[in-house]
Amino acid sequence: MKIIGINASQRNNGNSYQLLKSALEGAKGESNGLIETKVLQLADFEIKPCAAHYSGLHEFKNWGCGKKPYKCILKDDFEEVFQRMIDADGIIIAAPLYYPVPAKLVALMERLMAIVYFAKKADKNYVWPLTGKPFGAMATSYEDSNILVLKILRKFGFIARMYLVREAKNKVFSVDAKGGVEKNPKSLGEAKKLGSLVAKILIKRKERAKKKREI
């Protein structure tokens, strides 16, 4: 099993990276070596904004990302990032507060959502490849509230049909690292907990699948 952490910050080794590192450590600790982890640094990839390659507002036609094989027709690193998300069993995103989130993350979400929408328009039986994947959200800022960032990430996870990680009483669990990890070191512990929750979900799913095969 594999969990990827996506660092949406333009700084590869800043607070967002530290949160992801802690989350993935939590996942590894929970899984006893059953889970492989990897950090993707969005700053290292070229991801252009969505170019809206569709026919118009009033009549949908099967072209652009709504044409099989339902892939974005822009040429950059988007497909590589998307494929890594598909190959992963769980996904965690850490994003800093910008205006409101980094531009590359916005572009990534735009492009993914366009494929979801137009592929489904073209094919009612289309199965979105990220469906059901455990998804965790983490946000950080120097001194301002991260509520808006977390709302955006949660909404993204919901629209992308992933499973938002939950804890007791079915409450969605996210990490708000206001003040960054130096001013708010407890956030690293929260990040570790989130990674552990993602790992637990994957382990339980694997155990259930094994029992079904044995029946």
pLDDT of the residue at 58: 56
Phi-psi region of 103 (alpha: psi -120 to 50; beta: other; left: phi over 0): alpha
Mean of all residue pLDDT scores within the chain: 91
| Number of domains, the chain | 1
Are 94 and 19 a contacting pair, CB within 8 Å? Answer: yes
Range of the domain at 112: 2-214
192: domain CATH number is 3.40.50.360
d(CA 153, CA 140): 12
Average pLDDT, stretch 179-204?
Answer: 94
Q: What gap in Å lies between CA 92 and CA 4, rounded to an integer?
A: 6
What's the pTM value of the predicted model, to 2 decimals?
Answer: 0.93
- pLDDT category at 33 given cuts 50, 70, 90 is confident
Q: Which residue has the higher pLDDT, 54 or 46?
A: 46
The tens digit of pLDDT for each residue in 173-190 reads: 999 999 999 899 999 999
Degrees, nearest 5: CA angle 6-89-13: 20
| pLDDT, position 169 | 82
pLDDT, tens digit, for every residue of 121-165? 888 899 999 999 999 999 999 888 899 999 999 999 999 999 999
